[in-house]
Structure 1
Amino acid sequence: MTSTLPAPAPAPARTAPAAPGDPVRTRLLDLLDQRRPGRSLLGALYTDPELHDLDLRLLWHRQWFFAGTVAELPEPGDYLTVDLGTVSVLVLRDDDEQVRAFRNVCRHRGARLVSEPRGSLGNIVCGYHRWTYATDGTLRHAPQMVPPEQGGPDPACLSLRTVAVRVVAGLVFCCLAADPSSDVDAVGEVVAPYLLPHGLDRAKVAAQVDLVEHGNWKLTMENNRECYHCDGHPELLRTFFPTWGLREDQVPPRLRASHERYLAAEDDLRVACERRGLPREAVEDLVHRPLGFRVQREALDGAGESFSPDGSRLVARLLGDLDEPRLGRVTLHAQPNLWLHAMADHVITFAVLPLGPDRTLVRTTWLVDADAREGVDYDVEALTGVWRATNEQDAAFVGLTQAGVADPAYEPGPYSEGERQVDAFVSWYVERMREEASR
């Protein structure tokens, strides 16, 4: 059973035309209008540099996106950066242990403040002229500047430019818009009960791997939304039921035995969740909501505990206050750039970040309980093995698709019965871009 949140009213099929004199937006709207429901996008929407730039400016720079987790910022001064085209966002934990986000640009002459993807700092010091900012973004020191009492600039007017940030059960979301949607708060209320038992605020990073896929970011997200290709993931299929996304009447005979095993595991999971008061049913709003999402707790195959060759746990110490390893996985998908799996023993988050029309960064982070000991409670190679292999396989699939959609012979094809969520993601993209391009 799948329930939904009350959603904003859907946009009309075609809103006001693009601003006069903007041929790229006009072309975008024409391509969006040509997309047929139930089929993939036209090739230019995956390959054209000008349209990719519009993706960044109209969608990524205006919608909430997943930046990372609080476990990546365990101490005051710890930071991470997220780059979206020419925009760079600095996310950090300030001296009062609050998570903040800023534009990664000095208020003097614009130098990039922090270049590394992650690290730790005391103050934020510009490497060019040594302007120095506190972790709350206020300007502390500007060498050789005339003081305010002598007619110089007021330091209070030169604080770092802030970026909207929300923490949802340990997940950090940011929005670059001047007037961000409040949708993240409504979605957070639904998602939090699924994730809070896993205690992401009491977790630590066991491993993090950045992988560049040679494909458009939308192809990366589409690939994640279906298991039609899951025969290509032998390691994952040890614990991931291949009938994911199919209704009962859509299960083919060759997968019937797997599906019967899935139904039995789901029944066991239902009993375990009811005993512990854990939410389990699917809740989704994938098309009309600005922060499209889907969350559910689902059974795993084998021992039903974790992503291992036999489904048994990979970390001896369980997360949060969980008392049972056989609790399947919470799966969360949020658009434009997040999916995650939360087991009783560890959590894996995936952040999708566009690098270019045909290149996408997939940042995978494995979280374990903060008191779990490497080499004693878990082995990093074993912990990361299934998804390191799966990510490499997915990168190959995305690369093949990028090569195909760039070919003049490509025409958008029909989705299969198991690709409903791919269609939902593409429909969400079309709706968001049409709304923004028509403003």
Structure 2
Amino acid sequence: MYALDLEVIFGRHWLFCATEAEIPEPGDFVTVEVGSTSVIIVRDDDEGVSALLNVCRHRGSRIVDDPCGAVGNFVCPYHQWTYRTDGSLIFAESSQPGFDRSAFGLRRVPVRSLAGLVFVCLSDEPPVDFDEVAGVLEPYLAPYRLAGLKVAHQTDLMEAGNWKLVMENNRECLHCDAGHPELTSAYFPFLTSNPEDITPRLRPVYEEYLGAGAKLTEAGATRGIPSGARRELDSRPTGYQVTHMPLAGKGRSFGMGGAPVSAKLIGDVHDAVFGDMSVHFQPNSWFHLLSDHAIVFRALPVAPDRTLVRTTWLVSADAVEGVDYDVDRLTEVWTATNDEDRGFVERQQRGVSDPGYLPGPYATVEFDVEAFVTWYIRRLESHFGGGRDHLGLVPQTAAR
């Protein structure tokens, strides 16, 4: 199943891998490992974003070992074949007469940037719906100007659980009240928008939530952000969801009690009380955009029971560490939340591996978990079913 997931899910869908803020200058690069495939994401000399397979076209050596860095050109350490940042081959010592360098550039990988978020697909025939999804999400994301932010901090957390458990845990907040006291200090305590589910004790808080939501909608309208959520998590290959939610307490950011964590607002946001723009992508990423910073997450499988979760905190390019923000305070809530989620995932991995495990029913608020599982099953159905997927993914069936 792990090999199948690498082939069908991670080998054929758009994967969030990095932000443009991580490669701000020509020659800046990051490497991404997906199974045995290594990809270089680089800002090329024309200041565009390229994605290249990290494999020399001569004898197959890995070209780059570092997770990130900056180069003038890529030089293979084995025989010094040299490539420009767009992947074109410019030097190959002792080449045979008539050798055509133009035919031996680094293999390119399909890459798209959505408002500063960089996605790659390892298939030569990626899902065709990405542009449509980008058209929906661009107005939500554009005011934050993510490509122009800077990286304030980045962490990698290895979770001892299957990648699907990591994503299922992310796709619900039923566990949040008891499991994430730091995070929930900035959120209103509601898992439902049905007024009939609100108890008399919570009615005043609910009224405050409605008022904050109305103000957020008005503030978003001044920045050209569409009102209302969009949710297509299980009905297309590039499943997504976007919601713009008010924050509780001070209502400003992910500091304890909704407090701000940076003195500089980001992008075109001029209202410090600007809520949480939350975005999910199938199969491996989620994002939170706030008035004073943004947090982006990606999960990539490392083994059947190991998943690497990378978290990146972005702040305004002119924010000064130690003056406008403090890294410990900036990262406090999500560092704690990530560690708590790691514990939940690892406990669940041990539990579902127990021969005595039998699945239980979903709670009514676990609809996004169900959507993730439905999306996953549909992707496998597309792979094994033959013919062209009516949602736009071309199956590549194989005898098994």
TM-score range, shorter chain: over 0.9
In structure 1, C-alpha distance between the alignment counterparts of 2:57 and 2:205, rounded to whole Å: 58
Residue among 414, 420, 430 paired with 2:377: 430
In structure 2, C-alpha distance between the alignment counterparts of 1:222 and 1:283, rounded to whole Å: 20
In structure 2, C-alpha distance between the alignment counterparts of 1:254 and 1:437, rounded to whole Å: 51
Corresponding residue for 1:41? none
Query: Is contact 1:300-1:306 (8 Å) kept?
Result: yes
Change (3 A) 1:131 1:300: same
Corresponding residue for 1:197? 143
Q: Could you list the per-position Cα deviations for residues 150-198 of structure 1 after superposition, in whole angstroms to 9, with x for gaps in the alignment? A: 24x3111101100000110110011111112221111111111111101
> Which SS does the other structure have where 1:428 is aligned?
helix
How many residue pairs match? The answer is 385
Q: Give the structure-1-normalised TM-score.
A: 0.85
Change (3 A) 1:112 1:249: farther
> Is the counterpart of residue 263 in structure 1 residue 210 in structure 2?
yes
In structure 1, C-alpha distance between the alignment counterparts of 2:133 and 2:127, rounded to whole Å: 11
In structure 2, C-alpha distance between the alignment counterparts of 1:162 and 1:72, rounded to whole Å: 20
> Is the counterpart of residue 57 in structure 1 residue 4 in structure 2?
no
Corresponding residue for 1:294? 241
Residue among 271, 282, 288 paired with 1:335: 282
Corresponding residue for 2:304? 357
Query: Is contact 2:223-2:269 (8 Å) kept?
Result: no
In structure 2, C-alpha distance between the alignment counterparts of 1:245 and 1:188, rounded to whole Å: 28
Alignment of 1:164-175 (within 5 A): 164-175=110-121
Q: Unaligned 5+ residue runs, structure 2?
A: 386-396
> Which SS does the other structure have where 1:310 is aligned?
helix
Corresponding residue for 1:48? none
Query: Is contact 2:223-2:268 (8 Å) kept?
Result: no
In structure 1, C-alpha distance between the alignment counterparts of 2:36 and 2:224, rounded to whole Å: 45
AA of the residue aligned to 1:391: N
Give aligned-pair identity as a percent.
Answer: 51
Corresponding residue for 1:388? 335
AA of the residue aligned to 1:66: F
Corresponding residue for 2:82? 132
Corresponding residue for 2:390? none
Corresponding residue for 1:309? 256
C-alpha displacement of 1:215: 0.6
> Is the counterpart of residue 86 in structure 1 residue 36 in structure 2?
yes
C-alpha displacement of 1:345: 0.6
AA of the residue aligned to 1:64: W
Query: Is contact 1:58-1:437 (8 Å) kept?
Result: no
C-alpha displacement of 1:411: 1.4
AA of the residue aligned to 1:163: V
> Which SS does the other structure have where 2:210 is aligned?
helix
> Is the counterpart of residue 74 in structure 1 residue 24 in structure 2?
yes
Query: Bigger shift: 108-117 or 156-165?
Result: 108-117
Q: Could you list the per-position Cα deviations for residues 124-153 of structure 1 after superposition, in whole angstroms to 9, with x for gaps in the alignment? A: 11111111100010111112222xxx24x3
> Is the counterpart of residue 111 in structure 1 residue 44 in structure 2?
no
Query: Is contact 1:280-1:298 (8 Å) kept?
Result: no
AA of the residue aligned to 2:168: E
Change (3 A) 1:420 1:111: same
Which aligned runs of 4 or more in structure 1 are off by greater than 6 angstroms?
none
Query: Is contact 2:163-2:307 (8 Å) kept?
Result: yes
Q: Could you list the per-position Cα deviations for residues 301-347 of structure 1 after superposition, in whole angstroms to 9, with x for gaps in the alignment? A: 11111000131221111111211110101100000111000001100
AA of the residue aligned to 1:121: V
C-alpha displacement of 1:246: 5.2
> Which SS does the other structure have where 1:239 is aligned?
coil
> Is the counterpart of residue 421 in structure 1 residue 368 in structure 2?
yes
Which one has more relative contact order, counting CA pairs under 8 Å at least 6 apart?
Answer: 1
Q: Could you list the per-position Cα deviations for residues 271-294 of structure 1 after superposition, in whole angstroms to 9, with x for gaps in the alignment? A: 322344322310010112101000
C-alpha displacement of 1:296: 1.5
AA of the residue aligned to 1:315: S
Query: Is contact 2:187-2:258 (8 Å) kept?
Result: no
Q: Could you list the per-position Cα deviations for residues 184-225 of structure 1 after superposition, in whole angstroms to 9, with x for gaps in the alignment? A: 111111111111101112100000000011111111111111
AA of the residue aligned to 1:122: G
Q: Give the structure-2-normalised TM-score.
A: 0.93
AA of the residue aligned to 2:33: D
Q: Unaligned 5+ residue runs, structure 1?
A: 1-50
Q: Could you list the per-position Cα deviations for residues 34-68 of structure 1 after superposition, in whole angstroms to 9, with x for gaps in the alignment? A: xxxxxxxxxxxxxxxxx111000111111111011
In structure 2, C-alpha distance between the alignment counterparts of 1:347 and 1:158, rounded to whole Å: 39
Query: Is contact 1:305-1:326 (8 Å) kept?
Result: yes
Query: Is contact 1:236-1:387 (8 Å) kept?
Result: yes
Query: Is contact 1:102-1:161 (8 Å) kept?
Result: yes
Query: Bigger shift: 310-319 or 272-281?
Result: 272-281
